[in-house]
Structure 1
């Protein structure tokens, strides 16, 4: 049976989802041990990561033939790219062995250095450096080939000749842009508000609205005693206008600069000047 073509972006997204799931589980484990004086979890991180990979493999690839990331996107491993047959048991075990053992060896090879002589340790470091450079070069070549042909997004899949297919028949879908349109609309509205608000004299607008409310016969609540009528807080650097009601210095000066007809918040008397509390 011939397999269907899987989009390149879907294959890459599945790989990224698998890495994110592993990272999220590791974060939860590390949070459990963060209150210890010495975080022993990090001393055995390669072994813990290998254990997590085995557990994820057991409940994903071993059970369903697909990783959790692939299942989220409706994908699954295939025996090869020429068919959509599910993975055999032997290939699933080989996939686990390569993923777990290679990653564990890459993170743990440095533990051998204390057991070797300085000369052998230097040779081992040099050999591992060349091996890592070679793997990065081969991985880059494999990724470029994947971009051209859409097959084998990882080097391991190419080595094991693993294909990828859809779990169900794909139907054409038209993308929905409702969420994007809503975000663009609100973003434009917020930009408009940020551009207009600095041009509005809020002090004059507040005075005008208070005068309209008073003319309508509505009694506004008076500020509490020993509080600034503007901010309704304990006065900072208390100052008094001609009427004698205590205000914050910054509240008075800011409103006087913005509105030359600023009125006292208690008696509604116009304010033209102010002086520190207790002075004349």
Structure 2
């Protein structure tokens, strides 16, 4: 049996030990690492560059609708147009962008099908432009054939409206559309894919797009639109191709025989017959043997900001 003195000595030793441990615990709590600071927000794109006539901007070439379901488009369709840009001294990147997984020879491709909603197609294009150019303070031009014109319209409008999943801004200085069904397409009434339905002028998607304020189609810094159509287009009428609010509009006369797949294959010079407007279509003037051909109109619309 322990004596009282022995027990007091043991308790005193325990108190001394406990006193030594407590400060250490307090110090540990006080010096614990602070919670990590929130990650900084993604850097915003630099201000849009000044609008100038320039041949060193990147140009995105966006193809149209592929009527054969499950098939893609060969982006070499743009070769004659790209060659013309180069011969005119264009030094900026000439980019072909496709949106079918079966596409070939495109610089960049989104793996979609004819059943892919244009919202998702345009979102992919918007991010490609943003990540490669807008985020670096660079603007681009776009030349689009047929449905491709609705893709870039969607991209700019949805970015401008702040739709979920889209980049914060885009710098797109000039857009040229070739045979784009801005007012719908009679052909689209006879096919049943998702994208066909979205080209129907009386249907929900295009009706929604055409009901937006015109300011929704101006990318940050402004966008100049040139719309090109033909009275001999077998898929999109001259009126449908130029019904959008773009400032510059060209309609080739029927005797020029510009069909739907001709815009990007012919017309590198001048001397063509057309109706032309530079006041948003309020007035069209007929020019006999005095218009730029389709390919040359694409170049002029991208460089001079007007089809002459």
The structure richer in strand per residue is 2
The structure richer in helix per residue is 1
Q: TM-score range by the shorter chain?
A: under 0.3
> What's the TM-score, normalizing by structure 2?
0.22
Structure with max Cα Rg: 1
